[in-house]
Every structure is written in structure tokens, then in C-alpha cells.
Chains A and B, each alone.
Chain A
């Protein structure tokens, strides 16, 4: 009958108040765990997806929207920019690499991205099966796409207009999968890549059988039908945005200003916008964090009150244990162990609940690009466990000292 077993038995002898304490600790810990996991993952995703991109140039609008649509592929694009102007920018001596993007279609919710080989180099993509796309309507798909859409090399599929939904299908041309990319752990796992002219041809009224689907304002081609049928040449073509890598850090200040002032386009920095986005989310994270800490504080008080009250009832029990030969330090240990067991079990439950909770949240998330996983375990969770133990000691220390100091002769003669 070790002191630990006595504490354990004592916890089980009052299941209601013990489980209340456990739930309080677990609730607080699970919120903290979810916050920790989610903010780590979001931060990680934000930085991994934009790691080599210094600037995004696109149509005027919200810079955050431009970043979200062109780097994270979660929002709608701001509009289109003329290819001619984009090419001029790409020729600028400050620019080391410029990668054009043409967005606007999807296949079962997966975005189809028209781009060139610069994209492959930018993200250091490698082909796992098949080969890189070369001809029109040839595509490479991300590893996650291959898995979720059950596509393999040689398969054909039809893209649909818009970024989600498959009501408006481009039936004129079928895309063909020529390669599957190696998993990168970033946004490219969830994309379908093709060349830009495929995207153009997909929407060219000459090729398209259904002329009459008018496009929305977020469309990648704010087209003027009369003009286009006359000269469907490269000068009139438009793209969604341009991903830019600088030649030197000097350009950071000058280049965006030049774009914003002298052209009809806007430049947005992924680093700046990500920071801004994170600071916006940060307010919510902070609030939740305080909320979780408040719950933990309530849990500490609850464990303390529980132990303190039970000590009043148990002082006679503890005195009896002394007469049976238990030393003062043993009583101290019994009370401390009871507090620690409660909070440790609560913390452990909370961490598991937090992981399960985040996994469920991730499961119901619509956007596959920003999906959160509950299966990631962080080293810093050990601190949560340590904090759980510390809370137990903190809540139990006063009752334990009282148990240590109690005068058994006095307690026994009172009855």
C-alpha cells in the first residue's frame, strides 16, 4: 500500500469532484494545445509556401487578397493584368526571376494553375511519375491531388470554370495527366499545373462551344469580346499575377514603389502580408490563450478547494495513519501526489483532446490548402505536461503543508 496508491484511492472515493477538477484542467489544456498546434502549423505553412517569393504583382485591389490567391491559393484573384505589361516587368534588371500565373479553373475544387517552367524551378518541383508538361492541355498534378482525385498518369479530366464547383465545365478540351509531382509539404501538393496557353485556349470563344457563359468580375479574363475575336494574339492576353524573385535585396524598397506608381498594377510582399494576416489572427489567438489560462486558473483553485476541504474531512484519517506509523513527510507526499495525479491526468486528457479536436476541425475544413492536422506532436507539449504537474503541486502545497504540520494528538482528542 504505497502512498501513491492511497492518493489514487482517495481520488476514486470522490468521483464527482475529482472528475470536475479533471475536466477543468483538461478543458484548459486542450484549448492551449489546439492553439499551440494550429498557430505552429499556420505559421509553418505561411512561411513554407512563400519562402522564395519576394513579391507578387497583380491587378489592383487588396494586397492581402492578391497574396492569398497567388501564394496560398485560398482567396479569389484580384483580377487580371495584361501579359504585355507583365512581360515588361519581368524584363526589369532588378528581377531575377518572374513566374506568370493564370488562375480561374478548377477540377473538383482543386485549382488549375497555368504557368511556365519558372514555377517548377521556384518550388524545386520534381516529377515522381511520368514527365513534366510540355504540350497544351498536358498537366502535372500534386501528390495530394493524385491521391484525393484518384488520378494517375495518362488519365484525362475536364476543368470547370471558377475556383470551386463543377457546374460550368469546359467540355471543349480535356486535360491529360502527364506527370505526378513528388510531395513537397507545401501548397503545390494541392495544385494542377499546366501551361498558360492551355488556360487561354480553354476560354477562347473560337474553341469553346458554349459562348454564352459570361464571366464574373473576378475572372482571369475581363474580356472585351469584339476586340478579342479580331486579334487573339499574345499582346491582348492576360494573366492573373506574376511571382517575382529579386536579383538583390536593394530592390525591396524601390521595386514595389515603382510598380505601384508607374503601372496600373499592384505589388504585394508575401512576407509583409503574411505578418499582417498573422497579427490579425493573433488577436483571436491571444484572446483564446487568456481564456484557456483563465480556465486553468479556475482549475487550480478548484483542485485547491477540493483538497483543502477534503483535508478537513480527512484530518482524522491522516491522524490515524500517523498512529499507524506514517511519518509527517509521508502524509505530505500523499496529499501532494493526489493533487499532481489529478492535474497530470487532466493535462494528459487535455492534450489528447486537443489533438483529436484539431483533427476533427481539419476534417471539416473546406480548404485543403490550409488543412490543419491533429496528428502532429510538438516538443513544446512536454512543457504543457510539466505545467500540469506544476499546477498540481501549486494547488496541493498548502493542504500538504497543513497535513504535514497537523497535531495528531489534538485532532484525536477533539472527536
Chain B
């Protein structure tokens, strides 16, 4: 259960963005819709625990996220929140497997090779596990970034415009993978997009105006 309570944020104390309250049930799949400039990225960053809102509260599994110490918040984020970015940003100096190992160790979880194999298998990229990011195609990289987001079985999986730079076919498959993976790991899924192609797949929608 994730609750957004009277959250608002202002960047330079001039223009304040208010967000309507939002209750996200465990395991539900949401679409976050909004034009650019509507505060979509701001809300996503608040949800991922990297931007403290000026006012209001974010409660995730009975934990008020922004009342945690910075260090505890970092660790909470690493363990419970998985993020898929618009562009698949992997660490270039590390192989695919090492990128996933990094996600485990930065969250202060034990390195679990078996879990890595399992995730790579389910995303069909096992063959590339020893490659470096520069050796993979854009579609493959997006799969790896999904793998990295779900490696620690997060309770919340957030995707920020995961399909906007992909063609129809790839966009469809990435969306399917996100839904499949969130179901597989019992994660709540929030996909932020202005991409009309993905609208139909979701029943719940949170719209920013």
C-alpha cells in the first residue's frame, strides 16, 4: 500500500505543483499520465525517494519515506524500489552480470548469482551476461535495465517513459515485460508516459493536470 498525502512541491518557491492524493494498492498496475511540464518527473522522483517534497507525506508499507535518515532512505530505495529509466543507463565499465551484482550490493543485500541467472533467463538475455553495455542493442539494454530494476524483488516498480524511444514492436514487448515482471515479483507497477500506445493496457490511471 502506497499513499500520497497532500503532497506539493515547489522548485524556486514561486510555482507550486500540488498533487492530488493517491492510494496505490499492493500489486496493482497504474498508468501515470501527464503532458510534459505537468510535474510528472517531479512526482516520479518523489515516488522513488530521490526528491523530498516541500510538503506532504509519502507512506510506503507503513514507512513515511521522507522521515527516514538520508542513509536509511538510500538503503530503502535500493531494496524496495526498482526504477526503469527512459534510456537504459547501465554502468559502462561493468558487464551485465556486474551491473546486476552492483544493484544487489548497493542495496546491501547478499550477492546472489542464482537470482541474477533467474532474472536474465526470464528476460531472455542470458547469452549477454558477460558482455559490456556498449556491446548490446537498445532493446537488449532496456531489458537489462528492467532486470536491474527487479533484481531485488522491489515492492514498487517505477518506469519513466520506458517506451518513448522505442518502435511499436519494441514498445509493446517492453510493456509486456514490465507487466510480466511486476506480476512475477509481486511488485506494484507505476508507468509514467505520454505515449498513447500503452494506454489500453492499464485499468488504473492517475492523471496530472
Bound-state CA distance A412–B84 (Å) is: 12
Contacts A323-B77, A323-B83, A325-B79 given; does A408 touch B105 at CB 8 Å: no
* Interface contact A322-B103, CB-CB below 8 Å: no
* Interface contact B70-A323, CB-CB below 8 Å: no
Contacts of B89 in A (CB 8 A): 316-317, 320, 415
Per-residue B-contact encoding for A194-218, CB less than 8 Å = 1, 0 else: 0000000000000000000000000
Bound-state CA distance A84–B48 (Å) is: 101
* Interface contact A1-B111, CB-CB below 8 Å: yes
* Interface contact B105-A1, CB-CB below 8 Å: yes
Per-residue B-contact encoding for A387-408, CB less than 8 Å = 1, 0 else: 0000000000000000000001
Which of A317, A326, A412 is close to B106, meaning CB atoms less than 8 Å apart?
Answer: A326
* Interface contact A412-B45, CB-CB below 8 Å: yes
Per-residue A-contact encoding for B101-115, CB less than 8 Å = 1, 0 else: 111111110010000
Among B89, B94, B106, the one with the most A-chain Cβ atoms within 10 Å of its Cβ is: B106
Task: Give the segment of A9-17, A117-125, A137-145, A178-186 that binds chain B.
Answer: A9-17
* Interface contact A325-B91, CB-CB below 8 Å: no
**B41 contacts partner chain A, Cβ-Cβ < 8 Å:** yes
Contacts A1-B111, A323-B77 given; does A409 touch B91 at CB 8 Å: no
Bound-state CA distance A130–B50 (Å) is: 86
Per-residue B-contact encoding for A1-37, CB less than 8 Å = 1, 0 else: 1100010011011000000000000000000000000
Closest to A13 in B: B93
User: Least Cβ distance of B47 to chain A in Å?
Assistant: 11
Contacts of B111 in A (CB 8 A): 1
User: Least Cβ distance of A355 to chain B in Å?
Assistant: 33
**A250 contacts partner chain B, Cβ-Cβ < 8 Å:** no
Contacts of A320 in B (CB 8 A): 85, 89-91
* Interface contact A325-B107, CB-CB below 8 Å: yes
* Interface contact A13-B92, CB-CB below 8 Å: yes
User: Least Cβ distance of A315 to chain B in Å?
Assistant: 11
Range, interface on chain B: 20 to 34
Bound-state CA distance A413–B107 (Å) is: 22
Range, interface on chain A: 20 to 34
Contacts of A326 in B (CB 8 A): 74, 78, 106
**B3 contacts partner chain A, Cβ-Cβ < 8 Å:** no
The A-contacting residues of B in range 42-61, CB under 8 angstroms, are 45, 48, 50-51
Count of A-B contacts judged by CB separation below 8 Å: 78
Bound-state CA distance A380–B5 (Å) is: 63
Bound-state CA distance A283–B7 (Å) is: 72
Contacts of B108 in A (CB 8 A): 325
Contacts A12-B93, A412-B45 given; does A321 touch B102 at CB 8 Å: yes
Bound-state CA distance A327–B74 (Å) is: 6
Closest to A415 in B: B87
Contacts A324-B107, A328-B70 given; does A10 touch B93 at CB 8 Å: yes
* Interface contact A322-B74, CB-CB below 8 Å: yes
**B164 contacts partner chain A, Cβ-Cβ < 8 Å:** no
User: Least Cβ distance of B78 to chain A in Å?
Assistant: 2
Bound-state CA distance A326–B50 (Å) is: 12
* Interface contact B78-A324, CB-CB below 8 Å: yes
Contacts A9-B93, A13-B92 given; does A325 touch B87 at CB 8 Å: no
* Interface contact A322-B71, CB-CB below 8 Å: no
* Interface contact B78-A1, CB-CB below 8 Å: no
Closest to A323 in B: B83
**B86 contacts partner chain A, Cβ-Cβ < 8 Å:** yes
Bound-state CA distance A10–B74 (Å) is: 22
Contacts A6-B102, A10-B93, A320-B89 given; does A325 touch B77 at CB 8 Å: yes
User: Least Cβ distance of B50 to chain A in Å?
Assistant: 5
**Given A325-B79, A327-B70, A415-B89, 18 other A-B residues pairs in contact with their CB atoms under 8 A:** A1-B106, A6-B102, A9-B94, A10-B93, A316-B89, A321-B102, A321-B106, A322-B50, A322-B74, A323-B83, A324-B78, A325-B75, A325-B77, A326-B78, A327-B75, A329-B71, A415-B85, A415-B87
Interface set of B (CB-CB < 8 Å, partner A): 41, 45, 48, 50-51, 70-71, 74-75, 77-79, 81, 83, 85-87, 89-94, 98, 101-108, 111, 148
A-B contact pairs, 6 of them (CB 8 A): A1-B94, A320-B91, A323-B81, A330-B106, A412-B50, A415-B85
* 9 closest cross-chain pairs (CB), A and B: A325-B78, A13-B93, A409-B51, A325-B107, A1-B105, A325-B106, A324-B106, A9-B93, A409-B45
